[in-house]
C-alpha cells in the first residue's frame, strides 16, 4: 500500500499516535459503508469488523431506528427470535462501527457519492415491496399484502394508516409460508396472549374487536410442498382457542409419497397429517370442542379473482382455480384443472412474497428477479467495491440464519478483494466525514446509535407501564422528537 499523500485534506485519517504520543504515518484504514440495518447489514458489518482489525464500518438506515425485519417483521409472540438484537447492538457499539439512521440512500445521498467516500459499499436494504397477485379485484378494500399487515401490527411507520377491516367472519390468506402462519396466528390468538407482547396498541385494540373466527391458508400445491417450518406449524396446531378443520381428500396418497422425501420434509408433513386427520386424544378433543375459532390449510388452489361486494366497493370473496400436481416432491408443479370455486370472505391477505426495489439508478438491477445481479455478493459494475447481501442478493428466502450465512459470504468476498488489491485501499477515503457536509446542505439530520437508545428507553418504559416488553413509537416524527429533546 502507498502512504497517504501529505497534501490530502483528510490527512488526519491516516495519522496514528505511537506509544510516545508522537504522530506517525500509516496506511489508511479501509472504510466500508453498509446500506440497511437489518440482519443482512449487521451480519455483514460484524464479519468485516471481526475479520479485519483496521476496517471501519458505517451502517446507513432510512428510518431513525435500526434492526429492519427483526423489529418490523418478526411476529410479536416470537420474542426469542428478537434476541439477535443483542448481538447487533454489540456490533453497533464497536469502536470501529457507526450507525447513521434517518438517511434515505438514493434520495438524501446517492450510491455514487457513497462510493466516492468509501472504499466499499454494501447494499443490504432488503425487500421492502410486495409481489402483486396480478388478478382482477386485488385493489379492492379488504385486500392487503402480508408485508403491510405485518408492518401494521409491528409498528412500521409507513403502515400505520392501514386500518384493516376485521369485521368479517372469514379471512383468506394466500400463501403457506411462515409469514402466512404468523398472520393467521395473530388473527386468531387470544388477546390475553397478545397483550404481553410488543404488538402495537392500535393493532391490539383492533384485534380485540375483531370478528374474524375462521382463517383459510391457501396454497397452489399440496401438503408435501407446504412452505412453512415445523415450528410454525406446531404453534398453529397448539394455538389456544382454535381447532383445525381440513379436507381429508387433500391428503390422499400422502403417506405413501412420504417414503421418498428428505427427513425434515417428512417430519413436517407427518405433523400436518397428524393435525389434519388423526383422532386426537381425550385432552385434545376437549380443547378443540371448546374452541371458538377455526383454521385450515386449503391445498391445490390458486387465486383467479377477488370478488366484489354488490356495491363494488370492497371484497366479498375470492374465486380460486382448482389445481392438480404434475411431478412429485418439492419440484411438483401445479396445473389448472379448469374447475373453479368461490369462497366468501371479507378479508384477503396476500402472502406470496416480498420483493426488493431499485433505490438508485446507478445500481444494476434485475427487475424480473427483483435482485441486484451479483457473483458471490460482488456487483458487476465499472467501479469496483460495490456489493450486496441479504434478500437484495438472493431474493426473499430463508430465515435469519440463512441471511447470516449469506451475509458472511458477501463479507468474505469483500475481504478477499481487499486482500488481493481488487479493492484499492491505497487512497485515503473520508467516509462519513465527506457525507456529513452533503447531508447538512440537504437538511438531513442523521440519528446516531446513542439517539436510538433514547428511543429504545422511551419505548421500553412505556411498555413496562402496561406489562409489555415495549410500546413502539409509531411515527418518524415522534421518533425524532424523542431524539432531539
Taking only the tens place, the pLDDT of each residue in 349-361 is 999 988 899 999 9
Judgement on whether residues 371 and 312 belong to the same structural domain of the protein = no
DSSP string, 142-211: TEEEHHHHHHHHHT-GGGTT------SSEEEEE--SHHHHHHHHHHHS-HHHHTTS---HHHHHHHHT--
Q: Quote the cell numbers at residue 86.
A: 443483542
Task: Tell whether 131 is in a known binding site.
Answer: no
Judgement on whether residues 252 and 182 belong to the same structural domain of the protein = yes
Judgement on whether residues 335 and 396 belong to the same structural domain of the protein = no
SS3 127: coil
Interval 146-163 mean pLDDT: 97
Judgement on whether residues 318 and 373 belong to the same structural domain of the protein = no
pLDDT given for residue 383 in this prediction? 66
What are the Cα distances from residue 129, in Å, to 101, 178, 274, 356? 20, 18, 36, 6
Taking only the tens place, the pLDDT of each residue in 420-457 is 999 999 999 999 999 999 999 999 999 999 999 999 99
| pLDDT at 26 > cutoff 70 | no
Judge whether 158 lies within some domain: yes
Going by pLDDT thresholds of 50, 70 and 90, the confidence category of residue 382 is: low
pLDDT given for residue 384 in this prediction? 77
Judgement on whether residues 115 and 188 belong to the same structural domain of the protein = no
| pLDDT at 4 > cutoff 90 | no
Structural domain that includes position 79? 31-128+355-445
| pLDDT at 6 > cutoff 80 | no
Strand ranges of the sheet holding 31-35, from the earlier edge strand across to the other edge: 97-100, 56-60, 31-35, 120-123, 386-388
Q: How many residues does the chain have?
A: 485
Out of 302, 324, 352, pick the residue that ends a domain.
352
Judge whether 26 lies within some domain: no
Taking all residues of the chain, what is their mean pLDDT, rounded to a whole number? 92
Task: Tell whether 227 is in a known binding site.
Answer: no
Interval 299-324 mean pLDDT: 96
**Residue 34 parent element (H or E):** strand 31-35
Task: Tell whether 317 is in a known binding site.
Answer: no
pLDDT given for residue 129 in this prediction? 80
| pLDDT at 96 > cutoff 90 | yes
Task: Tell whether 40 is in a known binding site.
Answer: yes
Judgement on whether residues 203 and 80 belong to the same structural domain of the protein = no
Half-sphere exposure at residue 313, Cβ-oriented, CA atoms within 13 angstroms: 2
Judgement on whether residues 308 and 326 belong to the same structural domain of the protein = yes
Task: Tell whether 390 is in a known binding site.
Answer: no
Out of 303, 336, 352, pick the residue that ends a domain.
352
Judge whether 82 lies within some domain: yes
Judge whether 2 lies within some domain: no
Helix orientation angle between 230-237 and 178-188, rounded to the nearest 10 degrees: 20
| pLDDT at 22 > cutoff 80 | no
Judgement on whether residues 215 and 321 belong to the same structural domain of the protein = yes
Alpha carbons 170 and 407: distance in angstroms, whole number: 40
Judge whether 453 lies within some domain: no
pLDDT given for residue 112 in this prediction? 95
Out of 324, 352, 380, pick the residue that ends a domain.
352
Task: Tell whether 221 is in a known binding site.
Answer: yes
Task: Tell whether 234 is in a known binding site.
Answer: no
Judgement on whether residues 108 and 180 belong to the same structural domain of the protein = no
Judgement on whether residues 260 and 364 belong to the same structural domain of the protein = no
Q: For the chain, first and last CA: distance in Å?
A: 45
Strand ranges of the sheet holding 301-308, from the earlier edge strand across to the other edge: 301-308, 315-326, 333-344
In this structure, what CATH number is given to the domain that contains residue 434?
3.40.50.720
Judge whether 265 lies within some domain: yes
Taking only the tens place, the pLDDT of each residue in 237-265 is 999 999 999 999 999 989 888 888 899 99
pLDDT given for residue 130 in this prediction? 81
| pLDDT at 223 > cutoff 50 | yes
Closest by Cα among 413, 431, 389 to 123:
389
Please work out, in degrees rounded to the nearest 5, the angle formed at the alpha carbon of residue 437 by the alpha carbons of 383 and 360. Answer: 40
Judge whether 395 lies within some domain: yes
Judgement on whether residues 332 and 419 belong to the same structural domain of the protein = no
The Cβ of residue 481 has, within 10 Å, a number of other Cβ atoms equal to 13
In this structure, what CATH number is given to the domain that contains residue 328?
3.50.50.60
Judgement on whether residues 107 and 139 belong to the same structural domain of the protein = no
The Cβ of residue 467 has, within 10 Å, a number of other Cβ atoms equal to 8
| pLDDT at 5 > cutoff 70 | no
Task: Tell whether 36 is in a known binding site.
Answer: no
Task: Tell whether 211 is in a known binding site.
Answer: no
Task: Tell whether 57 is in a known binding site.
Answer: no
Tally of domains in the chain: 2
The alpha carbon of 219 is separated from its chain's Cα centroid by a whole number of angstroms, namely 21
Interval 17-31 mean pLDDT: 51
Kindly tell me the burial class for residue 205, based on how many C-beta atoms sit within 10 Å of its own C-beta (0-12, 13-18, 19 or more): exposed
**Residue 84 parent element (H or E):** helix 84-92
Task: Tell whether 298 is in a known binding site.
Answer: no
> Which single residue is written with the C-alpha cell 429504545?
456
Alpha carbons 87 and 101: distance in angstroms, whole number: 18
User: Cα-atom radius of gyration of the chain, to the nearest Å?
Assistant: 25
Give the highest mean pLDDT range of 24-38, 204-218, 249-263, 392-406. Answer: 204-218
CA-based torsion, 347, 349, 350, 354: positive or negative = positive
pLDDT > 70 fraction of the chain, expressed in percent and rounded: 94
pLDDT > 90 fraction of the chain, expressed in percent and rounded: 85
Judge whether 288 lies within some domain: yes
Going by pLDDT thresholds of 50, 70 and 90, the confidence category of residue 401 is: confident
Q: Quote the cell numbers at residue 1.
A: 500500500
Amino acid at each position: 500500500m502507498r502512504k497517504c499523500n501529505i497534501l490530502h485534506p483528510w490527512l488526519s485519517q491516516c495519522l496514528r499516535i505511537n506509544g510516545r504520543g508522537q504522530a506517525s504515518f500509516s496506511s489508511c484504514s479501509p472504510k466500508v459503508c453498509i446500506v440497511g440495518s437489518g440482519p443482512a447489514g449487521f451480519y455483514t458489518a460484524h464479519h468485516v469488523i471481526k475479520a479485519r482489525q483496521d476496517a471501519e464500518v458505517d451502517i446507513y438506515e432510512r428510518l431513525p431506528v435500526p434492526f429492519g425485519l427483526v423489529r418490523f417483521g418478526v411476529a410479536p409472540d416470537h420474542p426469542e427470535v428478537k434476541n439477535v438484537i443483542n448481538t447487533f447492538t454489540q456490533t453497533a457499539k464497536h469502536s470501529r462501527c457507526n450507525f447513521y439512521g434517518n438517511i434515505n440512500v438514493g434520495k438524501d445521498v446517492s450510491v455514487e457519492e457513497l462510493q466516492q467516500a468509501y472504499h466499499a459499499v454494501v447494499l443490504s436494504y432488503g425487500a421492502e415491496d410486495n409481489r402483486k397477485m396480478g388478478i382482477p379485484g386485488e385493489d379492492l378494500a379488504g385486500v392487503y399484502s402480508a408485508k403491510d399487515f405485518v408492518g401494521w401490527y409491528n409498528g412500521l411507520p409507513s403502515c400505520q394508516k392501514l386500518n384493516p377491516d376485521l369485521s368479517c367472519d372469514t379471512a383468506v390468506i394466500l400463501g403457506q409460508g411462515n409469514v402466512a402462519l404468523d398472520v393467521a396466528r395473530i388473527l386468531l390468538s387470544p388477546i390475553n396472549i397478545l397483550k404481553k407482547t410488543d404488538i402495537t396498541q392500535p393493532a391490539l385494540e383492533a384485534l380485540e374487536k375483531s370478528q374474524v373466527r375462521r382463517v383459510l391458508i391457501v396454497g397452489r400445491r399440496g401438503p408435501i410442498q407446504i412452505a412453512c417450518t415445523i415450528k410454525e406449524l406446531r404453534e398453529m396446531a397448539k394455538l389456544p382457542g382454535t381447532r383445525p378443520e381440513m379436507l381429508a381428500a387433500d391428503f390422499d396418497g400422502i403417506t405413501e409419497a412420504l417414503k421418498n422425501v428428505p427427513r425434515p420434509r417428512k417430519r413436517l408433513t407427518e405433523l400436518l397429517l397428524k393435525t389434519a386427520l388423526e383422532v386426537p386424544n381425550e385432552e385434545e378433543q376437549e380443547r378443540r370442542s371448546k374452541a371458538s375459532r377455526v383454521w385450515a390449510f386449503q391445498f391445490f388452489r390458486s387465486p383467479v379473482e377477488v370478488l366484489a361486494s354488490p356495491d363494488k366497493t370492497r371484497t366479498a370473496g375470492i374465486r380460486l382455480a382448482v389445481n392438480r400436481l404434475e411431478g412429485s416432491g418439492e419440484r411438483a408443479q401445479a396445473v389448472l384443472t379448469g374447475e373453479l370455486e368461490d369462497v366468501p370472505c371479507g378479508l384477503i391477505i396476500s402472502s406470496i412474497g416480498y420483493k426488493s426495489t431499485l433505490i438508485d439508478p446507478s445500481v444494476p438491477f434485475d427487475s424480473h428477479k427483483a435482485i441486484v445481479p451479483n457473483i458471490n455478493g460482488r456487483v458487476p459494475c465499472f467501479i469496483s467495491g460495490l456489493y450486496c447481501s441479504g434478500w437484495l442478493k438472493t431474493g426473499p428466502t430463508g430465515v435469519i440464519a440463512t441471511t447470516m450465512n449469506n451475509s458472511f459470504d458477501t463479507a468474505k468476498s469483500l475481504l478477499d478483494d481487499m486482500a488481493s488489491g481488487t479493492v484499492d485501499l491505497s487512497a485515503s477515503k473520508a467516509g462519513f466525514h465527506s457525507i456529513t457536509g452533503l447531508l447538512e446542505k440537504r437538511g438531513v439530520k442523521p440519528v446516531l446509535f446513542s439517539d436510538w437508545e433514547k428511543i429504545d428507553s422511551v419505548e421500553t418504559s412505556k411498555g413496562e407501564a402496561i406489562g409489555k416488553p415495549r410500546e413502539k413509537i409509531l411515527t418518524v416524527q415522534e421518533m425524532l422528537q424523542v431524539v432531539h429533546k
